[in-house]
């Protein structure tokens, strides 16, 4: 049991829940055909998987009741195959030689060709980010400034929303105060003990990746001054450190945390998207963008 729990803990909770849903859907499908979900006694497992994929693709057994994209079908088939291998059984997706069966491969390829083009967010014009920072500085609200700081860090460090924002799912791992290091030239600055003057004089900022999805565990990524007085990763890190220290935040506190009305709050993905879209609504026509073009993922 402990070993099985360790296997389940190897993915984030949402992936584990999704895998359970895929298996339950598979089991219901098999029972409707009077087939054992373990495929005991089934000679050609690929044919059964093809029927399952077809019904899922066209919405007959999809949770939404509508046609789904090829990647969704592929993810479901993968979850079913992994459920088999997790108990030591043969993955039914492979043929007798242990290779990808061409029937399943071509079926998924045909779905992929028929899929509509992906609806991708667009890279953000730099003018939008300057406007976000200007609004934050003029508002004097720490929530706005914290949001702007995190947008600057996400832009320069190319971060995913889960690496610099917080949500209630506990599946995000934003950078913390203890993950930060500053340098003044070649001298390391102890961010929890140094003076504010040292923070202002910092010339290089480093983030250590721990469990962030985007990087290698233990890897350190560093950036120098951008050459702009405020739109700069070093200045944004220093500002977050000052705020956290001012309110006696523990070392494990996320950089996206801010003290407001006597309580700790956090910048969330929705706050990032809202700030970006608010600025686009003002200056978007000048750069050819509309609000729906952008979200936190655009960074």
For residue 171, the model assigns a pLDDT of 62
What is the pLDDT confidence band of residue 140, given thresholds at 50, 70 and 90?
confident
In b/e form, how buried is each residue of 56-93, taking b as 16+ CB within 10 angstroms? bbeeebbeeeebbebebbebbbebbbbbbeeeeeeebb
For residue 124, the model assigns a pLDDT of 85
In the predicted model, is pLDDT for residue 8 greater than 70?
no
Q: What are the pLDDT digits (tens) for 157-183?
A: 988 888 899 887 656 688 999 999 999
In the predicted model, is pLDDT for residue 119 greater than 90?
no
For residue 299, the model assigns a pLDDT of 85
For residue 287, the model assigns a pLDDT of 84
Q: What are the pLDDT digits (tens) for 202-224?
A: 999 999 987 655 556 778 889 99
In the predicted model, is pLDDT for residue 72 greater than 80?
yes
Q: What are the pLDDT digits (tens) for 242-255?
A: 999 999 999 999 99
Q: Could you tell me if 73 and 50 are in contact, meaning their C-beta atoms sit under 8 angstroms apart? A: no
For the stretch 155-159, contacts whose Cβ atoms lie closer than 8 Å and that sit 24 or more positions apart, written own/partner, are: 155/124, 155/129, 155/299, 156/223, 156/226, 156/232, 156/233, 157/207, 157/221, 157/223, 157/233, 158/214, 158/299, 159/212, 159/214, 159/299
Dist. CA 197–CA 170, nearest whole Å:
35
């Amino acid at each position: 049991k402990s070993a099985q729990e360790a296997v389940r803990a190897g993915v984030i909770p949402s992936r584990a829940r999704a895998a359970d849903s895929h298996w339950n859907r598979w089991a219901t499908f098999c029972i409707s055909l009077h087939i054992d979900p373990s495929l005991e006694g089934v000679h050609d497992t690929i044919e059964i998987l093809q029927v399952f994929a077809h019904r899922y693709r066209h919405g007959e057994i999809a949770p939404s009741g509508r046609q789904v994209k090829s990647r969704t079908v592929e993810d479901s088939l993968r979850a079913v195959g992994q459920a088999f291998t997790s108990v030591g059984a043969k993955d039914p997706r492979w043929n007798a030689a242990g290779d990808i069966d061409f029937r399943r491969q071509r079926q998924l390829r045909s779905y992929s060709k028929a899929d509509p083009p992906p609806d991708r967010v667009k890279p953000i014009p730099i003018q939008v980010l300057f406007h976000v920072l200007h609004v934050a500085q003029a508002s004097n609200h720490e929530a706005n400034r914290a949001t702007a700081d995190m947008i600057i860090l996400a832009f320069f460090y190319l971060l995913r929303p889960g690496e610099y924002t917080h949500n209630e799912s506990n599946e995000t791992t934003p950078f913390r105060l203890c993950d930060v290091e500053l340098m003044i030239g070649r001298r390391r600055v102890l961010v929890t003990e140094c003076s504010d003057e040292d923070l202002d004089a910092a010339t290089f900022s480093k983030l250590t990746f721990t469990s962030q999805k985007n990087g290698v565990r233990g890897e350190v990524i560093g950036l120098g001054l951008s050459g702009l007085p405020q739109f700069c990763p070093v200045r944004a890190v220093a500002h977050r450190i000052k705020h956290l220290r001012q309110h006696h935040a523990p070392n494990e506190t996320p950089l996206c945390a801010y003290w407001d009305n006597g309580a700790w709050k956090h910048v969330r993905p929705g706050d990032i998207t809202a700030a970006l879209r608010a600025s686009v609504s003002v200056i978007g026509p000048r750069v050819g963008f509309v609000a729906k073009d952008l979200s936190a993922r655009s960074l």
